[in-house]
Amino acid sequence: MSAFKLKSAFNKTVLAGALSLAALALSAPAGAQVKRLDLQSVFSLQVPSIGSSPVKWAERVALMTNNEIQIKVHGAGEFVPPFEVFGAVSNGSIPMGFDWIGYWSGTIPVANLIGSMPFGPDPTLFLGWMFKGGGLEIIQKAYDPHNVKILPCHLVAPEAGGWFNKEIKSVEDLKGLKMRIAGLGAKTMERLGATVQLVPAGEIFVSLERGRIDAAEFATPQLDLGLGLQKIAKYYYFPGWHQPSSWDSIIINKKVWDSFTEKQQKAMTEACYANITYNNYDQMGAQIDAIEAIEKAGVKIERFPEPVLKALQETAQQVMQQEAEKDPLFKEAYESLTAYIKRVGRWTDLQSLPRLN
C-alpha cells in the first residue's frame, strides 16, 4: 500500500506529539512517564459493539498500565479514509488503528482468509486456532514487512448472509446482482455472476437506498440493525456463509510497539483477551433482539436455499485453493486452518447435542 500524503500540521501533531513521551498525567503515579497516542478505527465509534470495541480496549490498557499508556480513539475518517488506515499505521503517520483484518487483502492476501474463511470455523474454533494453533504467528509474518504489529482483539459472531431487495430462489438470481460484500465472499460471489464492490460501513445505507447496489452484507444482526438497513431492504438472509466468524484487530506501528516495555506490551495483549471475552458474551443475546426488531420493521427473514449454499461452498473452496496457489502465506494459513478444523473440530462434533423443541 502506498504512502499517504497527510497535511503537514497533522503529521507534526501525530509524529511529534502522539508518538513521543508526553507530560506526566495527573492520574498516573508520581514519577511515571505517560505515553499518549492516537488510534483511528475503520469504523464509526457509534456502530454497536464493534464501534466501541477499541474504546473499551484503550480503557483496559489504561487500567492495566496504571494510566501510563493513554490512547485516544478516533472514528472512521478523522485522520485518513477508512481503507487507508493500514498504510497510515505502516508508514507511521498514525501510531495505531482498529480494523477488520480482511480489509487489507489487497496488500496482504492471507488477511482475506484470517479475516474470515467462507464455510470456515465457528468462533470457538477460530479462537483456538488463532492463539494455540499457529494462526497469529502466520499473520504476523505477513505483517512484518509492513512494519506493523497485529493484536487480534475482537472476534465477531457468525454474520448474516446479507440484505436483499429481491428473493433469492436459485443460483441464477445471483447473476447480475450488485452487492456490497468483502473478502473471499466477494470473490465467490463474482464467480457466480454477481458484481461486487467494497463500500465503507458508513456508506452502505445510502448506496442501497439510491440503488447503487442491490444487496449488502455488513455484519451480525446487532450491527446491521444499527445501520438502519431494515428501513430499505425487503429480505434478510442467513446463514452468513462468507463469515461464520471473523477477526478485527488492533494494529500498531512496529516502532511504536517496540517503544513499550515488555510489561506494557503484555498489558495490551491481555487487554485484547479481555476484549474478546467481553465481546463474545455481549453479542449473544443481542442478536435475537436485533432479529426480532428487524422482523417488526417488515423485513422477511429467510435462509438461502440449500442448492444456493452448496454452489457457494463449492465455489468458495475453488477460490481459496486458487488463492493458496498464488501466495505462500495464504497456503500455509489455509492448510493450517483446514487441518485444525478437521482435527480439533472433531471434539465439537462429538459433543453436539440434539436441540429440544
Write b or e for each residue in 174-209: b if 16 or more Cβ atoms lie within 10 A of its Cβ, otherwise e: beebbbbbbbbbbbbbbbbebebeebbbbebbebbe
Numbered ranges of CATH 3.40.190.170 in the chain: 8-158+246-285
Identify the architecture of domain 8-158+246-285 in CATH.
3-Layer(aba) Sandwich (3.40)
pLDDT digits (tens, 9 = 90+) for 272-311: 999 999 988 888 888 999 999 999 999 999 999 999 999 9
Look at residue 13 and tell me whether its pLDDT is greater than 60.
no
Distance of alpha carbon 163 from alpha carbon 237, whole angstroms: 6
Instruction: Summarize the confidence of residues 55-82 as an average pLDDT.
Output: 97
Q: How far is CA 181 from CA 3, 105, 107, 115, 235, in A?
A: 26, 14, 18, 13, 16
Amino acid at position 126, single letter = F
Answer with the residue of higher pLDDT: 175 or 20. 175
Q: Average pLDDT in the 247-272 region?
A: 98
CATH 3.40.190.10 assigned to domain 162-244+296-348? The reply is yes
Residue 30 confidence (pLDDT): 58
- Binding-site members are 159, 180, 217-218, 243
Positions of CATH 3.40.190.10 in the chain: 162-244+296-348
Determine the pLDDT at residue 200: 83
**16 pLDDT higher than 50:** no
Looking at residues 216-233, what average pLDDT do you find?
91
Comparison of pLDDT for 227 and 9, the residue scoring more = 227
H or E element, residue 294: helix 262-296
Residue whose C-alpha cell reads 464501534 in the numeric block: 51
Q: Cα–Cα distances in Å, from 323 out to 53, 142, 180, 311?
A: 31, 15, 21, 18
Annotated binding site for substrate: 159, 180, 217, 243
pLDDT in tens, 139-173: 999 999 999 999 999 999 999 999 999 999 999 99
228 or 8, higher pLDDT: 228
User: Binding site for Na(+): what residues are annotated?
Assistant: 218
What pLDDT does 8 receive? 36
